[in-house]
Each structure stands twice: as C-alpha cells, then as structure tokens.
Amino acid sequence: MNCSDKENLKERTLALRDTLDLLGGKWKICILRNLYFGTMRFKDLQETVSGISPKVLSKMLYDLEQNLLITRKVNNTKPITVSYTITEYAKETIPVIEALLDFGLKHRRRIKAK
C-alpha cells in the first residue's frame, strides 16, 4: 500500500467515523425515518419513536438541527407547538437508512430461523 492509498484510507475512515457520530445511537435514524413521511410535531415524534423520553428526544432533535438534518418551526398556536421537518440535505441519508433497515429485517429473519 503506497502513501496515497494510506491517506485515502485514512480520509475515508475519518468520514465514516463522522457519519457514525452524526447518525449514531438508537434514536436519530428512527427520528429521521419518521420525518421522511412529513413534518411532525414533538408529541407526534414522541408517540411514533416508542420508548424515547421527552428529554432524550429534545436532545436528539437539537443535535439533528445543529447538523442541518432537520428544521424546527415554532407554530403560532395556543398552546404553542413545535414542528420538525427533514431538510433536503438529510434526504441524502435515505438510501443509507433503507439499506440498514433491509439488512436488519434480513438479520431478524435469519436469527429467528435458527
């Protein structure tokens, strides 16, 4: 392996780590996938991402917003509601998330068949 190959490998490894940091954990991908289907309010997200606490959901939404994957809109309603929408940039993650979902389904079938 020459120096150029090593540098390319290093750069690609760093990019992979960045992606895993960005999408890692058990909640962010689930939140993004739910938002693929349209804008959702905080309460709707909490109901569809079962098992997540309001505190953790708030943190995950903040992280996704800071990384330009979702937008947050405060609605002029009484009481005030907040809604979230996936960004065009985040739509680039759709093939990755769908591939993970497909693999997960195959893996579950394989394990259950044992």
Q: What is the pTM of this model?
A: 0.83
Instruction: Output the six-digit token pair for 53.
Output: 């606490």
pLDDT in tens, 46-90: 999 989 999 999 999 999 999 999 999 999 999 999 999 999 999
Write down the pLDDT at residue 74.
95
Residue 6 has pLDDT above 90, yes or no: no
Per the document, the length of the chain is 114
Domain made up of 27-113: CATH architecture: Orthogonal Bundle (1.10)
CA-to-CA dists, residue 73 to 12, 39, 114, angstroms: 35, 10, 47
Q: Locate the domains of the chain by residue range.
A: 27-113
DSSP secondary structure string, 12-30? Answer: HHHHHHHHHHHH-SSSHHH
